[in-house]
Amino acid sequence: MKKNIIKMTAFALTGAMIFSLAACGGTKNPKSETASTVQTETAQETAAKSLGGWEVNGKKLSIKENAAAKAAFEKATEGLEGYEYEPIALLGTQVAAGINYSILARGKAVVPKAEPSYEIVTVYEDLDGNAEILGEKTLLGAGEKDALGAYEVNDGEYDLSKNADVKAVFDKAFDKLEGADYEVIAYLGSQVAAGTNYLALARVTPVVPDAEPEIDLVTVYEDTKGQAKVSETETVALGSEDADTASESAESEQIPDPYESFTSLKDAAAAAGFDVTLPDAPKGYENVSYRVDTGEKMLEAIYSDKDTDSADAKEAYRIRKAVGSDDISGDYNDYSEKKEVTVSGNKVNMKGNDGKVFTAVWTSGKFTYAIDIDNNGQGLSEDEVTALVNATK
């Protein structure tokens, strides 16, 4: 099957940092292991700690590797009724006439079919070893997952290495990017939004001398073509102050969807601001959906064998029309065969391999057109594509 690459809007990363990916407990960026990046405690950092500042955990994150924090958490929650916690990671500590632990945990009410939430729990342990929960900050909670745009909270394995499909998305998003040691602490949940958003909590350490790590909420967006990118990063303050609600957290991490979906071509054309004529659907791909990017003035028709939101939906092709003259195919693969043919007076650029066409691009008047072809990875013949071009206006 061919690999499509959709042009996406450039995104800004917190602190203008570029990341490389490593799962929690996995291999780190080798650059972060060099002697030049070993962090030393400065007088300023010591003063901050003595005044009660939070220190992000720069060592092993797993709660199983932090015995003191684990013991304090267990003491603080041993008498809890009606709610249960699963501690995941030690995010940081704070000296305060004893010690405060900032711990990522997954919580759930002890009732049938209860849905989980991911929370930062602040546990205080005094000098005598007594422990209590000071407060919680919800990162992603058990909300109305059936509501449009809501996140579905991950109730399975939160270790990214145990979520092969999700890990593959993060790998693509961070492919060949360097500049920081990036460790995914936990995979929190997902959201369908003309593609899928994946939300995770991560520790980020820039690969520069004396760099301090931070804890970030990171959203990776995978579009319907399988292309992935980081769409949002947000630094999380440790402790329980300025608690966020689950809905506020989910909303802040949601990538703006540039497309509006339609079930009828008439409504889609009205939203795009121009008329369009399209070919009939091929046999086996009668499910036709329409999307409009109102900002770019582009209309797209998707011919598939079932609803495009279905995970196993297969596409025959996509036809696009937009105002302008740019290549809007979204396919920038390097094909071995390229040919310009004239169809109905328009010069059409066709590209493909082994005698099969996978993309066709042309302009007519003030509009640009494109056909992006899948057809189970088989492409179409030149005659078949010519017929589609003739039927598209």
Per-residue confidence (pLDDT) for residue 67, from 0 to 100: 93
Higher pLDDT, 88 or 52: 88
Per-residue confidence (pLDDT) for residue 176, from 0 to 100: 61
Is 216's pLDDT higher than 60? yes
Per-residue confidence (pLDDT) for residue 36, from 0 to 100: 27
Q: Lowest-confidence range among 27-31, 141-145, 206-210?
A: 27-31
Q: Cα dist. 275→142, 262, 369, 371 in Å?
A: 43, 15, 13, 17
Helix, strand or coil for residue 22? strand
pLDDT band at 342 (very low <50, low <70, confident <90, very high): very high
Dist. CA 140–CA 106, nearest whole Å: 10
Per-residue confidence (pLDDT) for residue 9, from 0 to 100: 29
Residue type, 43: A
Taking alpha carbons only, the member of 94, 92, 90, 88 closest to residue 56 is 92
Is 359's pLDDT higher than 60? yes
Is 37's pLDDT higher than 90? no
Contact indicator for 192, 309 with CB cutoff of 8 Å = yes
Question: What is the average pLDDT value for the chain, to the nearest integer?
Answer: 79
Q: Lowest-confidence range among 73-82, 121-130, 145-154, 370-379?
A: 145-154
Query: Is the model's pTM score more than 0.75?
Result: no
Per-residue confidence (pLDDT) for residue 52, from 0 to 100: 53
Per-residue confidence (pLDDT) for residue 349, from 0 to 100: 95
The burial of 127, by beta-carbon neighbours within 10 Å (0-12 exposed, 13-18 middle, 19 or more buried), is given as exposed
Residue 265: partners with Cβ closer than 8 Å, 6 or more residues away = 276, 278, 288, 290, 301
Per-residue confidence (pLDDT) for residue 294, from 0 to 100: 76
Dist. CA 151–CA 142, nearest whole Å: 9
Helical ranges in 100-253 per DSSP H? 164-173, 246-253
Contact indicator for 214, 39 with CB cutoff of 8 Å = no
**Once rounded to an integer, what is the mean pLDDT over residues 306-330?**
83
Of 5-9, 14-18, 237-241, 288-292, the range with the highest mean pLDDT is: 288-292
pLDDT band at 25 (very low <50, low <70, confident <90, very high): very low
Burial annotation 369-380 (CB, 10 A radius, 16+ → b, else e): bbbbbbbeeebb
What are the strands, taking DSSP E only, across 96-226? 98-109, 117-126, 131-140, 152-153, 180-192, 196-206, 214-222
Per-residue confidence (pLDDT) for residue 65, from 0 to 100: 93
Report DSSP state, residue 178.
Answer: -
Helical ranges in the chain per DSSP H? 43-50, 67-77, 164-173, 246-253, 265-272, 382-391
Report DSSP state, residue 286.
Answer: -
Dist. CA 259–CA 294, nearest whole Å: 7
